[in-house]
Structures are given as structure tokens and as C-alpha cells.
Amino acid sequence: MIFFFTRIYARLQELFHEKFKVNIPGLGFLLHLQKKDRIIFINGKKMFFNHKIADNYARLVNGRFNEPETHLFINSLLSSSPDSYVQFIEVGANIGEFLIDYAGNKKILNSLFFEPQAEQLLSLQRIKELNEFNNVEIINKAVSNKNGVVKFAFKKNNTSDVGITTDENSESFKVEAVTLDSVLGDSTQNSIILIDAEGEELNVIKGGKKFIRQAKPVIIFEYNHITKTYFTLEEVKNELGNEYTLYRLNSKGKLDIDFNNTWNIVALPDSQSFNRNLFD
């Protein structure tokens, strides 16, 4: 009964957000009341609902994506390309919202998901098993600008608010971190990289400098009220150089250059031509 009511409230919150651009409170409280794991369905695929980290799911309890605009853009990118995108790479895969949508996509030949947290890792592995995704590699590591051990901060009352930290006073645990270059090596495969690293996005890009220079992937990274406190778009531009152009990913799943209100930014390599349907 609690889960049923939570689903109704999640849908109500979504409608309020779409119509009034505000988030009504209370969904996190309801999600924290969940006491058992279950299977939920997203576009006909099975998703593992891990009640221990229920506050990560939000709209997903209704079979709806938390970031619909990002899915719309990636779908348009894939459908407009005559070639397959060989690799889909996600840094900060969390509970598998993008794994469940793209691991089975016919234009994604293989996919790589990085996630250092134990409960989120369990959720990813269960999704892989439930849907028999054979082209998926899940890596239980953080990603940064250098290899080594890092501290991951966390909040018990908000299991989605975690990330690499240097704060000695924060609650944290140690994880192994790698660079994209150390994992992808000399790869030149056509790729899409999605980065949701709670402020570590710029360092992830710095640690993939060689791969980015060689493969020229499409890069989607989070740039919102949280990540803006860690780095600027100017710093990202300087890191990527003149071979990339940055665009805002808007709520319609299209690209524009209005950077006043952002959530995700897309870096497109200038060496590739892209369908005009991707742009607003």
C-alpha cells in the first residue's frame, strides 16, 4: 500500500514540476518508508528496486525516467546517426537508469558503467542479470583525473548525494579511482560518454584527455547548481580545446546556447557533422 501511494505521489510531483517548474516536497520521505526490494518495469525492461537506496529512484517507481530530456537527446543522436555508436560509457551509473535504456539498444554494441557504491552496484548487476544484457561491463570504481584511492562522502538521509571529497570532517568511505585513459587505453571507438559525478566532471574529462583526443566522443556532463560550485564551463572549454563546442541540453531534449539555466551540457566534436534535428 505504501509503495502504491508513493507511485501516485511521484506522478503528482512530476506533473507539478512540468506545469509549475517546482518540486513539491515529500517524495523522499515516502521512498524512505519502503521496506522491501521489488522489480519495477521501465519500457518493458526489468529494473531492480533496492529499498535500501529507495530515494535514488523518484520517477522510476512509475516506470518513468528521472532525466527524460537526456534520453530524448541520446535517442535522437542514435537514430540520426547512420553508424552504430560502438560504446556507451557512463561515469556515475547509480541505480541504472541509463543502463536499462541503452544496454539493449541495437546501436550500442558495448557499454561500460562505472559505479563505486556497493548498493548501487548491486542494483546495476541485478538489472544486467534480469534483462540478460550481455554487452555490459560494470566497473566498481570511481573515475577521476588520476588513479589511486579517494574518499567518497555520503549522507545517510540522502543516498543520491555522494561524491569524491577532500573534506576531513565529512562521513566518507574509501574507494579506488581510475582515469578513463587507464581503462580505455588507445581506443578510437565511436562513443558517447555520460558523466554524473557530483562535481568531479571536469576531473573525469582531464583523466580522459588521451581518449577524448583520439576518439572524439560525444560528451554529456552535469552542470547544475551543485556542479557549478566545483568548476566553470570556461574551464571545460579550455580542457577540451577548440575541437569541441558546448551546448545546453534543454528540457525538450534539444541543444541550444542559453547557458543561464542548465542541468546537462553536451560537448560535440567539431570534426563530426550532426543532424539539425538535435538543435533547437
Rounded CA gap, 197 and 226, in Å? 11
User: What pLDDT band is residue 161 in, cutting at 50, 70 and 90?
Assistant: low
Least confident of 9-13, 69-73, 241-245: 9-13
User: What pLDDT band is residue 160 in, cutting at 50, 70 and 90?
Assistant: low
Rounded CA gap, 28 and 55, in Å? 6
Instruction: Give residue 17's pLDDT.
Output: 84
Sheet with 158-165: list strands edge to edge. Answer: 142-143, 172-178, 148-155, 158-165
Domains, the chain, ordered by start: 2-62 (no CATH), 68-144+180-278 (3.40.50.150)
Instruction: Give residue 169's pLDDT.
Output: 59
Sheet with 191-195: list strands edge to edge. Answer: 136-139, 108-114, 85-91, 191-195, 218-222, 264-269, 244-249, 255-256
**Higher pLDDT pick, 197 / 168:** 197
Residue 162 has pLDDT above 70, yes or no: no
Residue 82 has pLDDT above 90, yes or no: no
The mean pLDDT value of the chain amounts to: 92
DSSP three-state, residue 279: strand
- Residue-wise over 79-99: b if at least 16 C-beta within 10 A, else e? eeeeeebbbbbbbbbbbbbbb
Instruction: Give residue 127's pLDDT.
Output: 98
Instruction: Give residue 157's pLDDT.
Output: 62
**Higher pLDDT pick, 102 / 21:** 102
Instruction: Give residue 81's pLDDT.
Output: 84
Residue 267 has pLDDT above 70, yes or no: yes
Task: Write the CA distances from 213 to 185, 195, 204, 269, integer angstroms.
Answer: 12, 17, 14, 10
Percentage with pLDDT > 70 across the chain: 94
Instruction: Give residue 67's pLDDT.
Output: 95
Residue 275 has pLDDT above 90, yes or no: yes
Residue 167 has pLDDT above 80, yes or no: no
Cell of 169: 570532517
User: What pLDDT band is residue 249 in, cutting at 50, 70 and 90?
Assistant: very high
Cβ neighbourhood burial of 46 (10 Å; 0-12, 13-18, 19+): middle
| DSSP characters over 225-245 | TTGGGT--HHHHHHHHGGGEE
DSSP three-state, residue 64: coil
Rounded CA gap, 228 and 11, in Å? 29
Instruction: Give residue 151's pLDDT.
Output: 81
Instruction: Give residue 159's pLDDT.
Output: 58
Q: How confident is the model over 247-259, as a mean pLDDT?
A: 97
Residue-wise pLDDT tens digits, 57-76: 999 999 999 999 999 999 99
The pairing of strands 136-139 and 142-143 is unpaired
User: What pLDDT band is residue 269 in, cutting at 50, 70 and 90?
Assistant: very high
Question: CA 104 from chain center: how many Å?
Answer: 17
Residue 137 has pLDDT above 80, yes or no: yes
Least confident of 40-44, 170-174, 221-225, 267-271: 170-174
